[in-house]
Structure 1
Amino acid sequence: MTDSPYHPPVKHSVEIAGHKTSISLEPVFWELLRQAAASRALPLNALIAEIDAQRIRADNPPGLASAIRIWLTLYLSRETSKHSQGA
């Protein structure tokens, strides 16, 4: 990760359901996404595919980069809540 969390998005290519796509996220989100994938013992592409599938089922689906940011926010909120409750 960069020294500052304030950094423009960085584009990475990923493969979802057998096709390649590019996602632009700020480095802090890429790092958090890698950490979440590792904590769930998933390859990064598998986690992104899971988020994409959830996003597509939404009534008004956001773009994939936005869905990843939303997913990370919810995931980190749940993880913080678990730790604060001693779970």
Structure 2
Amino acid sequence: MGAAPPPSPPKKRSVTIAGHETSIALEPIFWTALEKAAADADLPLNALVARIDAQRLEASPPANLASAIRQWLYARTLAGE
């Protein structure tokens, strides 16, 4: 396995969830992983984020969306996907 890229600040991007735009700030390594996960699932990025958002809203209290995405990606990594 190669070395991890150096830490970098979060980058804000807009996504559309249920017809509403929202900004999400994630570090570039997470944006790359999220884009790959969307491609692997044959989904648009917005659709994958909407799925993660729906899952996060089931928690009490729900995590913020950026944290939920990072946790979802980590769980995906642990599952070997």
TM-score (norm: length of structure 1)? 0.85
Q: CA RMSD in A?
A: 1.4
Aligned residue-pair number: 78
Instruction: Report the equivalent of 1:48.
Output: 49
CA distance in 1, matches of 2:47, 2:59: 19
Task: Describe the superposition over 1:50-79 as per-residue Cα deviations: whole angstroms up to 9, x where unpaired.
Answer: 000000011221100000000000011112
CA distance in 1, matches of 2:71, 2:57: 14
CA distance in 1, matches of 2:80, 2:5: 24
What aligned pairs does 1:31-42 form with structure 2 within 5 A after superposition?
A: 31-42=32-43
5+ residue gaps, structure 1: 81-87
Which one-letter code corresponds to 1:55 in the other structure?
R
CA distance in 1, matches of 2:47, 2:6: 25
Q: Runs in 1 of length 4+ with deviation above 6 angstroms?
A: none
TM-score (norm: length of structure 2)? 0.91
Task: Describe the superposition over 1:8-52 as per-residue Cα deviations: whole angstroms up to 9, x where unpaired.
Answer: 000000000000000000000000000001011110000000000
5+ residue gaps, structure 2: none
Identity of aligned residues (%): 56
Mark the structure with the bigger radius of gyration. Answer: 1
What aligned pairs does 1:1-87 form with structure 2 within 5 A after superposition?
A: 4-79=5-80
Offset at 1:4?
3.3
Q: Comparing both structures, which one devotes a greater share of its residues to helix?
A: 1
